[in-house]
Amino acid sequence: MSRLCVLFFLAFFNFGILANPSVVIIGAGPSGIAAATKLLQNGIHDIKILEAEDRIGGRINSVHFSDGIVDLGAQYCHGEKGNVAYNLAKDLDVLEPGLRSLQNNVYYSNGSRLDPDLIEELRQVYLKYDQNENYDTKGKSLGDVFIQKYNTTLFPKHLNSETESLLSEGLRFLEGYVLIHEGAFSWFNVSADCDYVQCEGNQALTWKGGYKTVLKIMMDGLPIDEKIRLKTRVEQINWDKNTVTVLASNNRTYSADYAIFTPSVGVLKRHKLFTPNLPIAKQKSVEATGFEGVMKVFLHFPQKWWGDSDQAFAFFWSQKDLKLIWDKPWVTQVRYILKVPHNSNVWVAWITGDLVPEIEKLPLEVFKIGVKFVLERFLNGKYHVTEIGDVLRSNWCTNPNFGGTYSFTRVGFYNKGFSHQEKLAEPLLNEGKPVVLFAGEAKCTSCALSDRSWGY
């Protein structure tokens, strides 16, 4: 989910130019907390952190649910080598491997379980979805190139076989998984070209006590809590004078020598905050950066209905059944459910697609009925699914303080040799002095600092 870009601003200027520089940090997510940590460690104490929510963490949101901790936002530590999150936590026994394969529990919408060998073939194609060296990707979407690859590599193996029709339906199934990784509403929105390099190591490490653990590690022993102003939404940032003036929703004004802006690019896309406006080049990079989302929903079942070895169920819709769900199409975007570790009788449903913002706003009872419908349609041939109890939903897309989950390069905006991330990270200069600096998700280029190392 979020990109932690902590050290970059120290390369732009030397705070020592001023005897006691003041800094206002906008956002108390991991990037804001990390920036405050680095400042305090370098002897800079005149800091205020303005946070729009009533909590810290940004898109890290670990909360109590049932008898354990669940992560409504960032959940996985993706990779080990060079990964900032992993390096912070590797010696503290707070990480463990997560589930990596669903191949034995993929169910068809007629209630049958699909052949694990077929699912493994689909999985192997999915695992290489962003490896496109042998394909013409210029100006094309991830979906366009994936379909071309799928049709030329997997389809020929099964022509005139019983699985040919399943393969035609498999594209939609695989798109759901790709969207979880990319954070987009459609794989046709995402550029096939990408400069991202994956960190080596386990791509699905999970946090034993929730992702909030990394915040505790960073804040340990430092007086950061006293610097934070919760429920303080920034409405305007004036940066054309010697000091930066920040106007907040509580009618307070905060002035400082420097500001560090860490909210999501979704905030930049949806709100006009800067006076003067952002430079045109930065505005274009905001436009080039997609910011949509995925949804997670935690489900508590008072009565257990699954087997002890069951850890996941994935849902593979037939074209025929998709046409029958005209009255509640959103249920077809529930991709799979996973058992939540260390939390008895709790599962998490992953939802992707263009209806995510609508699903976030559904009445709770309507949502529960829809999810129960999916579970019964796919699983009642083998299981007797019991009633859903408590439900906890994410709402990243409809929350104006975020506007989505994580970023991607939009189709048609990739330029080889030009980084929109670097442009987003460039400071705002006033008479040559960097007065507003940028950190956080979508503003860092290193795989070690990307949303995929600090992500869902």
* CB distance 437 to 282 below 8 Å: no
Tell me the per-residue pLDDT of 424-446, one tens digit each, with 9 for 90 and over. 999 999 988 899 999 987 766 55
Angle, vertex CA 388, rays to CA 385 and CA 393, nearest 5: 130
Crossing angle of the two packed helices 30-41 and 212-219, in degrees rounded to 10: 10
* CB distance 236 to 124 below 8 Å: no
User: What confidence score (pLDDT) does residue 455 get?
Assistant: 56
User: What confidence score (pLDDT) does residue 373 get?
Assistant: 97
Structure token digits, residue 69:
């901790």
User: What confidence score (pLDDT) does residue 6 get?
Assistant: 39
Determine the distance from the C-alpha atom of residue 12 to the mean position of all C-alpha atoms in its chain, rounded to a whole number: 28
DSSP state of 73: S
User: What confidence score (pLDDT) does residue 155 get?
Assistant: 86
- Distance from C-alpha of 132 to C-alpha of 433, rounded to nearest angstrom: 42
| Amino acid at residue number 245 | T
In this structure, are strands 289-291 and 22-26 parallel, antiparallel, or unpaired? unpaired
Q: Within a 10 A sphere around the Cβ of 8, how many other Cβ atoms?
A: 19
Fold matches, 8-59+208-290+412-449 and 101-202+294-395 = no
Contacts of 310 (CB under 8 A, 6+ apart): 105, 339
**Fold adopted by 8-59+208-290+412-449:** FAD/NAD(P)-binding domain (3.50.50)
Q: State phi, psi for 407 to the nearest 5 degrees.
A: -100, 165
- Distance from C-alpha of 280 to C-alpha of 299, rounded to nearest angstrom: 45
- Distance from C-alpha of 450 to C-alpha of 84, rounded to nearest angstrom: 9
Three-state DSSP state, 207: strand
Comparing CA positions, the residue from 61, 424, 107 lying closest to residue 269 is 424
User: What confidence score (pLDDT) does residue 456 get?
Assistant: 61
Positions in the chain whose pLDDT score sits under 50: 1-13, 15-16, 447-454
CA count, 13 A, side-chain hemisphere, 206: 17
- Distance from C-alpha of 375 to C-alpha of 312, rounded to nearest angstrom: 12
User: What confidence score (pLDDT) does residue 364 get?
Assistant: 96
Q: State phi, psi for 293 to the nearest 5 degrees.
A: 175, 165
| Amino acid at residue number 304 | K
**Domain map (residue ranges) of the chain:** 8-59+208-290+412-449, 101-202+294-395
Strand order in the sheet with 391-393: 106-108, 312-316, 334-339, 346-352, 294-300, 391-393
Which helix (H) or strand (E) segment holds residue 76: the answer is: strand 76-77
User: What confidence score (pLDDT) does residue 454 get?
Assistant: 47
Identify the CATH number of the domain defined by range 101-202+294-395.
3.90.660.10
- Distance from C-alpha of 253 to C-alpha of 245, rounded to nearest angstrom: 7
